[in-house]
Structure 1
Amino acid sequence: MRFARRGAAGAEKPVVVVDNTTYDLRPLTADIDGSFLETDVRARVSEAIDSGSLPVVDPEGERFGAPIARPSAIYCVGMNYAAHAAESGSAPPENLVMFMKAPNTIAGPNDEVAIPRNSSKTDWEVELAIVIGKRASYLDGPERSAEHIAGFTIANDLSEREWQIEISGGQWCKGKSGPGFSPLGPWLVTPDEVDAAKLRLRSFVNGEPRQDSSTSDLIFDVDYIVWHLSQFLMLEPGDVIMTGTPEGVALSGRFPYLKAGDVVELDIEGLGAQKQVFA
């Protein structure tokens, strides 16, 4: 199943796509949020489709919002691809690096992004994002993680590198929480539809290739990430975890940072594509 939120910002309607047919989810839920995802959504949706209680809709031309309503938290894994750690000037981490982004940074996958005032080093990062579907705390092992995952989506973990590194004061969050710095979507895809362990992910700036890698190159894989984080904090339904970005960002020194008018495109195999114009 593929879930999405379609419509103008602040007025998105929840929909689901099953067998190439789009259904309005509002008879089941007002939005795609934690309270909806913590139920057995696949069973509920299938039953509702079979009973004819979900209207068929055609949202063609409507804006994609982020496929999850504002979560309680956005957790991020840093330097989770060895080559990206190297281009950042660091050795691959021995322990999982975690930082957070403000939930109000979430935006639609194709929304315009404003480069923050006084920014000179705004950077792109294509990432596989996990959406939590069931509360996770002190999981017994990585093998228990799958039952707590609602699905996967694309994230652009936008960063202001000067604020993140040079004037951070020791924490990355300052450079990660600009308005609109977490475009998500277009789809929230259930785990049965993709193999998160081997998905190709790419980014382009003004049509020129930047990143091209696979989630098979993750240092800490999806199951490990969910298990590991659950040992230190409580993951709530609807929470988002960005799993890290591969090499090919402006921080490497090989490419210029973003400026007004630039177009960033991202895609992940099986999850769709994003396109943002920077202003």
Structure 2
Amino acid sequence: MKLVRYGAKGAEKPGLMDGDTLRDLSAHVDDINGDMLGDAKLAELAKIDPATLPAVEGSPRIGACVGNFGKFLCIGLNYSDHAAETGAAIPEHPILFFKANSAIVGPNDDVVMPRGSAHTDWEVELGVVIGKEAKYVSKDNALDHVAGYCIVNDVSERHFQTQLTGQWTKGKSCDTFGPTGPYLVTRDEVPDPQNLAMSLDVNGKRMQTGNTATMIFSVAEIIEHLSQLFTLHPGDIITTGTPPGVGMGIKPTPVYLKKGDVMTLEIEGLGRQTQKVDQDG
């Protein structure tokens, strides 16, 4: 299934995609969130004939594909080819940082650069949404704890990230810096999360081309590692790193986003995002 949240920000309704038709799920669930992401509830929803659900009229705003989420966990330098472009060593363990939940927006909402920003960058990433509590799990059964997958744009202000003394979180957590969705694609539709083509364009020019096959740590290995440190709860989002082609890696002169730019992101089977870039005064 491709689960969707649609409507005005803060008032999104649950839906699912029936081919190209968005259908309303409000009669069956209150929202797409951790409370309904377990296997039993997803199996119950999968039994519904989509044709019996009301079609949603018009073209409503699409919200982040998970509501009332818990943790927003991010893995850095997790693609061997991206580590090479930044000159970074291959990490021995997954690099973890947190992104403020207030950064999460819909997949097609504007990305608003913070006041004074001149180093805002793009990162297409595979997002993983936890559906079942995970504590001390092994990589052999880690994927059983996944509800589904989505696209995340891990927008990053590089000056804030690297120069404002402290953790990467400073450059990752600005408002609107976490477009998520459009769909939460349930794991049964993604048999191999380690073989998904991914891309990102800026103003129609291809900047990132990659495949989750080049991850240093697989989705299962990431879940295993994190679950040794703390409990992963239903609705938690893990974004798993980006392939090469980010602006800061362009030689000889890095390229960063500016007001009016348009980013388009795609991951095989997970849909497409498009964001226009604006800037706070």
Would you say same fold, with TM above 0.5?
A: yes
> Among residues 218, 224, 229, which one is paired with 2:226 in the alignment?
229
**Correspondence for 1:182:** 178
- 1:107 corresponds to which letter in structure 2? V
**Correspondence for 1:2:** 2
Find out whether 1:261 has 2:254 as its counterpart.
Answer: no
**Correspondence for 1:23:** 23
**Correspondence for 1:213:** 210
Query: Structure 1 residue 59: deviation in Å?
Result: 4.4
In 2, distance between residues paired with 1:158 and 1:87? 18
Cα pair 2:149 2:185 within 8 Å, conserved: yes
- 1:117 corresponds to which letter in structure 2? R
- 1:122 corresponds to which letter in structure 2? T
> Among residues 115, 120, 127, which one is paired with 2:118 in the alignment?
120
Query: Structure 1 residue 84: deviation in Å?
Result: 1.0
Change (3 A) 1:267 1:59: farther
In 2, distance between residues paired with 1:20 and 1:109? 17
Specify the SS of the correspondent of 1:15. strand
Specify the SS of the correspondent of 1:80. coil
Cα pair 1:150 1:190 within 8 Å, conserved: yes
Deviating more after overlay: 254-263 vs 158-167: 254-263
**Correspondence for 1:193:** 189
In 1, distance between residues paired with 2:30 and 2:149? 21
In 1, distance between residues paired with 2:212 and 2:53? 36
Give the length in aligned residue pairs: 275
Query: Structure 1 residue 218: deviation in Å?
Result: 0.5
**Correspondence for 2:81:** 83
Query: Structure 1 residue 29: deviation in Å?
Result: 1.6
Unaligned runs of 5+ in 1: none
Find out whether 1:104 has 2:95 as its counterpart.
Answer: no
Superposed CA deviations along residues 215-235 of structure 1, whole A, max 9, x for unmatched, are: 011110111111111000111
Specify the SS of the correspondent of 1:231. helix
- 2:269 corresponds to which letter in structure 1? G
Structural mapping, 1:118-197, within 5 Å = 118-139=116-137, 141-169=138-166, 171-194=167-190, 195-197=192-194
Superposed CA deviations along residues 37-70 of structure 1, whole A, max 9, x for unmatched, are: 13523321134449x9x63213441111111013
Query: Structure 1 residue 71: deviation in Å?
Result: 1.2
- 1:55 corresponds to which letter in structure 2? L
Change (3 A) 1:206 1:21: closer
In 1, distance between residues paired with 2:246 and 2:66? 26
CA RMSD of aligned residues (A): 1.6
Cα pair 1:85 1:92 within 8 Å, conserved: yes
**Correspondence for 2:277:** 278
- 2:103 corresponds to which letter in structure 1? T
- 1:151 corresponds to which letter in structure 2? G
Superposed CA deviations along residues 78-128 of structure 1, whole A, max 9, x for unmatched, are: 000111112222111111111000111110000011111121110000000
Superposed CA deviations along residues 197-256 of structure 1, whole A, max 9, x for unmatched, are: 100010011111101010011110111111111000111100000000011001113341
Change (3 A) 1:32 1:118: same
